[in-house]
Amino acid sequence: MSQGPQAVVDLSSLKANAAILLGSLSVGCRPIWVIKDDAYGLGACRVASALGKGRDSWYAVAYIEEAVALRKHGVEGHILVLQPPAREDASIYWEEDLAATVWGLEDLETLMSGSEKSPDRRLALHVEVDTGMNRGGVAREGLEPLVEEITRRRIFHLDGLYSHLADGRDKAFCSLQRERFHDCVSCLRKRGWVPERLHLGSSAAVLLGEAYHYTMVRPGLALYGAWPFDVPHAPSLRPVLSLVSRLLKVRSVGPGESVGYERAFRTDRDMRLAVVSIGYAHGLSRTYSEQGHALVRGRRVPCLGLTCMDMLLLDVSRVEGAMAEDEVVLLGRQGEDEITIREVSAWMGCSPYEVLCRFGGLCVKRFAES
């Protein structure tokens, strides 16, 4: 084991979740696996390899640098870049055969500036239309002029139309967004413009049912083992990320002592305290220890004091034989107990998305097959 904490990525669980998601989609609907931001910190190249790097696969990334890294890793499938293009990167879309997201006419001009080196290639475009997120995408009134310009220029291919759900838990607003998206699709079809790929939602769309599936969905969080919200009878997913470290030292402390920075915890009895090699430099919030727990020798133990930059204190008074070098699990299973991503996100006051990105992005990663 590494001296510091490790983010353990279970690729078998990842593949099991992919199979569950595939089985949850309507007939004819395919996934675009969202592996943006280094697969939420879990390692995009390894995740893509586990899912299959073939030409029929679809992946979505946020930045063009991520797409280039996947191509260098041997990923031959379709890669959709979710953010609009920058002029200095325009030629890369053509050279690497990437699908570009466009929000407006200015994006077409940007992409055209990079087409000179690839005169015989048509570039696949996915138009994002805003249906209520009010973040990115072309406004409804700008959709037809944009698509008309795409179809007028022979170097472009209108491959997809998509939007994004603002809150999968708000069924009424999801329905409104779906109606707006359906109106956009119908409008384009009346003009004879039929994008082959239509996608409205991410993991939430899987749960909302076939009406939200269209021809593609973009699973992200669910692929990594958690649904974005609780739904009765949702398929059970397997956690992909575990966070493990080790005990550095166990010491006995009497009553009336202060513990850690700002003397934030005071002992009221004889206690055995353990120091763990992990801290806010690895993604924990500084106040994590106010509610957080860890697993030591299969027992759930509370955190104490304030989280330090690279150390955390635990109360191991009731863990018989706890000693330096013992494994500590802060996310995942040990023995018969498990600390879930929902628990950790509640203790840290953040979303499961943030938990994955923080731990996966800041800790040394170790890949495993369970």
Residues designated as active site: 36, 261
**Residue 20: HSE in the Cβ half-sphere, 13 Å Cα cutoff:** 22
Least confident of 63-67, 183-187, 194-198, 229-233: 229-233
For 364, other C-beta atoms within 10 Å of its C-beta total: 13
Question: Is a pLDDT exceeding 70 seen at residue 128?
Answer: yes
pLDDT band at 194 (very low <50, low <70, confident <90, very high): confident
Q: What pLDDT is attached to residue 183? A: 97
Amino acid at 236: S
pLDDT band at 1 (very low <50, low <70, confident <90, very high): very low
- Taking Cα atoms as reference points, which of 348, 352, 350 lies closest to residue 229? 352
Q: Measured between alpha carbons, how far apart are the two ends of the chain, in Å?
A: 17
pLDDT tens sequence across 15-38: 999 999 999 999 999 999 999 999
Q: Which residue has the tokens 């994004």?
A: 164
- Give the mean pLDDT of 173-181: 98
How far, in Å, CA of 161 to CA of 167, rounded? Answer: 20
Q: Work out the mean pLDDT of the chain and round it to a whole number.
A: 95
How far, in Å, CA of 280 to CA of 312, rounded? Answer: 9
How far, in Å, CA of 260 to CA of 272, rounded? Answer: 14
Q: Which two structure tokens, joined as six digits, stand for 235?
A: 């398929």
Q: Which residue has the tokens 């929000």?
A: 103
SS3 label, residue 153: coil
pLDDT band at 320 (very low <50, low <70, confident <90, very high): very high
Q: Which residues is 247 bridged to in the sheet? A: 276
Question: Is a pLDDT exceeding 90 seen at residue 290?
Answer: no
> Model's pTM, two decimal places?
0.94
Q: What pLDDT is attached to residue 44? A: 97
- Give the mean pLDDT of 152-180: 96
Q: Which residues is 365 bridged to in the sheet? A: 7
Is residue 327 within 8 Å of residue 334, measured between CB atoms? yes
pLDDT tens sequence across 69-105: 999 999 999 999 999 999 999 999 999 999 999 999 9
Instruction: For 225-240, give the secondary structure using H, E and C.
Output: CCCCCCCCCCCCCCCC
Question: Is a pLDDT exceeding 50 seen at residue 124?
Answer: yes
Q: Which two structure tokens, joined as six digits, stand for 150?
A: 């795409």
Q: What pLDDT is attached to residue 231? A: 81
- Taking Cα atoms as reference points, which of 280, 284, 294 lies closest to residue 327? 294
Question: Is a pLDDT exceeding 80 seen at residue 182?
Answer: yes
Contacts of 110 (CB under 8 A, 6+ apart): 84, 85, 86, 87, 90
Contacts of 113 (CB under 8 A, 6+ apart): 87, 90
pLDDT tens sequence across 215-268: 999 999 999 999 998 888 889 999 999 999 999 999 999 999 999 999 999 999
Q: Which domains does the chain have, with CATH numbers?
A: 11-224 (3.20.20.10), 241-368 (2.40.37.10)
Sign, Cα dihedral of 154, 156, 159, 165: negative
Q: What pLDDT is attached to residue 118? A: 74
Residue 54 vs residue 107, higher pLDDT:
107
Q: Residue 252: enclosing H or E segment and its boundaries?
A: strand 241-253
Contacts of 7 (CB under 8 A, 6+ apart): 41, 42, 241, 242, 243, 359, 360, 363, 364, 365, 366
- Taking Cα atoms as reference points, which of 133, 142, 13 lies closest to residue 82? 133
How far, in Å, CA of 135 to CA of 83, rounded? Answer: 11
pLDDT band at 2 (very low <50, low <70, confident <90, very high): low
Q: What are phi and psi of 281, to 5 degrees?
A: -65, -15
